[in-house]
Amino acid sequence: MVDLVETVIAGDLPPIVTAGHPVLRTPAQEFDGQLDDDLLGRLIACMRSVMHAAPGVGLAGPQIAVPLRIAVLEDQGAGDDAVAAARSRRPLPFTALVNPSYRASGDAMAAFYEGCLSVPGYQAVVERHHAVEATYTQPDGVSATRIFEGWPARIVQHETDHLNGRLYLDRALLRSLSADREHGRWAQPTVEEARRGLGF
């Protein structure tokens, strides 16, 4: 694993693996010290840079061909107040999750369009828990449990799915699937117009 990670993070930013690569369909390995603190820190820094460059709001290890249960999250929030309110989208400071898992916190569900850096060119509506309680280890080895709500909860669920070998399309309402060039017509604060137009 050390050699793989050293190779992936050496030089320029690694490419994002796209749908069809088996690493995205295989549950990632638990992190149990395969990397020393320095290499783990460099991997997380690399993942953050790849996420920013894409640009995206989350990235999981398998998306750069590293099959470890590590993900990074960061979101500046929505610039549009109506979108931010409808989607409960608020800024999410940079967070690195090692060996994350989550459970629903409450019964509320929310359906919104999602995209994925590993499925470029498309978006689809996914219904997810509005709030989750995530348990994970921080890069310094300290265990944490935290409630994520709204859009940050969606990011946690999306990235944890990657670590479990799942893509958002596995959960999507497929009649909502839209190519990026068509998605503009459905880029509303909610998905109600898209529901009417596409029949899902």
Sequence letter at residue 152: P
Name the nearest CA neighbour of 56 among 118, 148, 103, 108.
118
Q: Express each pLDDT in 157-166 by its tens digit.
A: 999 999 999 9
Which residues are bridge partners to 132 per DSSP?
104, 148
Tell how strand 143-149 and strand 131-137 pair up: antiparallel
Angle at 156 between CA 158 and CA 15, to 5 degrees: 55
Question: Distance of alpha carbon 54 from its chain centroid, rounded?
Answer: 13
Q: Return the pLDDT at 196.
A: 96
How much is the pLDDT for 17?
98
Q: How many Å apart are CA 107 and CA 90, to the nearest integer? A: 21
pLDDT tens digits for the chain (200 residues)? 999 999 999 999 999 999 999 999 999 999 999 999 999 999 999 999 999 999 999 999 999 999 999 999 999 988 788 889 999 999 999 999 999 999 999 999 999 999 999 999 999 999 999 999 999 999 999 999 999 999 999 999 999 999 999 999 999 999 999 999 999 999 899 999 999 999 99
CATH of domain 2-198: 3.90.45.10
How large a percentage of the chain has pLDDT more than 70?
100
For residue 44, the tally of other CB atoms under 10 A from its CB is 21
Check residue 193 and give its pLDDT: 95
Residue ranges per domain, the chain? 2-198
Write down the pLDDT at residue 83.
Answer: 86
Point out the residues that are catalytic. Answer: 159
Cα–Cα distance measured from residue 142 to residue 16, given in angstroms and rounded to the nearest whole number: 29
Q: What is the pLDDT of residue 32?
A: 97
